[in-house]
Structure 1
Amino acid sequence: MKNAIQFYFVLLLTTCLFSCRQAKTFKVMQFNIWQEGTVVPGGFDAIADEIVRSGADFVTLSEVRNYHNTRFCDRIIEALKKRGQVYYSFYSYDSGLLSRYPISDSVTVYPEKDDRGSIYKMITKIGNQEFAVYTAHLDYRNCAYYDVRGYNGNTWEKQTPVTDLDSVLFLNRRSVRDDAIACFIQEAQKDKAAGRIVILGGDFNEPSHLDWTEATKDMRDHQGLVVPWDVSTLLQKAGYKDTYRELYPDPVTHPGMTCPADCRNIALEKLVWSPEADDRDRIDFIIYAPFNGLALTDVTLVGPKGDILRGERISENTADPIIEPLATWPTDHKAVLATFSFK
């Protein structure tokens, strides 16, 4: 009898230790919702449906405007509840955050002012592990990648292409995107010091230096330029990882372009806001800080396979992994969905 009790005690202890060592998984979805899905007929319901289908634990939202005199995150949480899904959020504007786990704190890291972007943070837990999840929608003005392609990055009017690197970076730095990211990096230092896993999702309204490389300088109207875009460079120097480039490092075979995406649920003239200037770039990102036991296991685009190029619908011939929409696609951006494991 004594031996039997000892055996079962050892078995129970071993099972508990094995369970503790097993990796847990979580998903993050970056979703630019294009003015809350109000542009596309049925867009709001499509946002809710795509979130449910994604199975995301955290959803970082861009272009949250709180239309209809109601708070978008409150409305989408109610819509998700009707679909049998429970999420939590907090008041935000311009960017938003949803979590399957109760939120213990929220912080305005970079407040929205004059329509020039925002960054918010929430703190939550999965088991005993704390998370700091950030959402961003950065300044949409002074987009110098348009200047490179022959259009003003403020007015989107036609002009002579800017092909001098110093001029490109000068024009780009008229935005406040790098200011906002500097605030994120500073705030996230506190989270890392507290032992939290740090995740940032957002529409940065700026390409990545990992995409405008020597290999792509003669592609996609890069005008022969290799550009160290500010936001991605600042994040890399601070030690952050770009999920898409982590798993798909080649920007030629896997450009990962998220905007402008071809939403076939509305007329083309409503989809493009600057027909002659539209080109394709990766401006939606999920970024993370390396953390002991944290591993990125999968990342994919979510949305239509087609894109908009110079005001025309085109099909892409790339190796990018993509999950196509169930039905209506509610936005002119593709979303990004990343899966992580941690111990």
Structure 2
Amino acid sequence: MRSLYHLRGWLLLLAILLLFSSAEAKKRKTIKVLQFNIWQEGTVIPNGYEAIADEIARTDADFVALSEVRNYKGTRFCDRIVESLRKRGKTYYSFYSYDSGILSRYPIVDSATVFPENDDHGSIYKVVADMGSHKVAFYTAHLDYRNCALYLPRGYCGTTWKKLPKKVDNLDTVLFDNAASQRVAAIRLFIEDAQKEIAKGHLVMLGGDFNEPSHLDWIKANRNLYDHNGLVVPWHVTKLLEKSGYKDAYRQRYPNPVTHPGFTFPADNPLVDIKKLAWSPEADDRDRIDFIFYHPYKGLKLKDAVIVGPQGSICRNKRIVETSNDRFIKPMNVWPTDHKAVMATFFLAQ
């Protein structure tokens, strides 16, 4: 009889715990954010555009930051992709942009150009989306691809991608070249604009292809890996974001860049000649240049971060399979780009 009472007690406790967990779950919302470089709108890959829509639909992301929006032949990519996703049973909102773009599952109440595209030196756009009890200021960034100083220690110019007489091992030279790009100017404008959104009580998130690595990835522990050429580099953009209080979702989830390098470029793509994938063919130029950042916000908690795309990369003009501890959501079928995407999942208290 006593064991029966004990069993009833445990069952009652279990029921209370399940009820409490269910109530807590109802009080929080899940937010998925996807950063996706779509490589000239998928035009480089056969059926690439449809693959972009397929991959976005299956991630079920709430906010999508797109890089390399071109609006080819006078079309509006934002309208086309929204319609393609509607046919896949997904409702998204967007607005006209060039170079980078945004998709939101929530109605857009405001949008703005933060850093306008000019002569292909990058862009940043913003939407303010209404989630009911919260408003989200979501930004997309595709930063300047020139003066891409990550190539210097690997023995290549970061503007012409021609091989240099020797690899650069001087930190000041690398930082000087990096600062000559327009990436810093763009991210300063983002920080200035986002501060106004934070002051309004809005949640701020940023997704982007920075064309620049993270200072959290070029550290002492890996200075002799990936052709870093012995350098520990305080890369400008991520340092500025960190100084302004922003968190790198992938590095928050996986703080060790040796076990979890999280490389997003160059991705292997079996449908493309390797000559189009290897920008510095004699080097190991694998790097994490696609990011999701967020500003701390009451009730916001990072749940997970994952690489979306192939496990394969390009290294020294060869197709390789990564053996790191990074987790991958592998492509459904066709992968439309030479980047890997990154997705972060958050919990937000209602």
Aligned to 1:224: 230
5 Å-filtered alignment, 1:48-197, equals 48-159=53-164, 160-197=166-203
* Structure-2 separation of matches of 1:330 and 1:234: 31
Shift of 1:312: 1.4
Is contact 2:290-2:342 (8 Å) kept? Answer: yes
Shift of 1:269: 2.8
* Structure-2 separation of matches of 1:68 and 1:283: 29
C-alpha deviations, 1:59-96, integer Å up to 9, x for none?
Answer: 00001111122011111111111111111100100000
Aligned to 1:46: 51
Is contact 1:148-1:222 (8 Å) kept? Answer: yes
Q: Which runs of 5+ in 1 are unaligned?
A: 1-13
Calculate the TM-score normalised by the size of structure 1.
Answer: 0.93
* Structure-1 separation of matches of 2:312 and 2:323: 9
Calculate the TM-score normalised by the size of structure 2.
Answer: 0.91
Aligned to 1:4: none
Is contact 2:32-2:62 (8 Å) kept? Answer: yes
* Structure-1 separation of matches of 2:279 and 2:216: 26
Is contact 2:93-2:107 (8 Å) kept? Answer: yes
* Structure-2 separation of matches of 1:68 and 1:277: 36
Shift of 1:270: 3.5
Aligned residues: 329
Is contact 2:154-2:284 (8 Å) kept? Answer: no
Is contact 1:253-1:320 (8 Å) kept? Answer: yes
Q: Which runs of 5+ in 2 are unaligned?
A: 1-18
C-alpha deviations, 1:308-341, integer Å up to 9, x for none?
Answer: 1122111111000110001000000000011011
3-state DSSP of counterpart to 1:299: strand
Is contact 2:227-2:284 (8 Å) kept? Answer: no
1:333 pairs with one of 305, 320, 339: 339
Aligned to 1:11: none
Shift of 1:125: 1.5
2:200 alignment partner AA: A
* Structure-1 separation of matches of 2:277 and 2:301: 37
> Cα RMSD between the aligned structures?
1.6
1:150 alignment partner AA: G
Aligned to 2:15: none
Shift of 1:34: 0.3
5 Å-filtered alignment, 1:283-322, equals 283-322=289-328
3-state DSSP of counterpart to 1:215: helix
Aligned to 1:10: none
Task: Tell me if 1:205 matches 2:222.
Answer: no
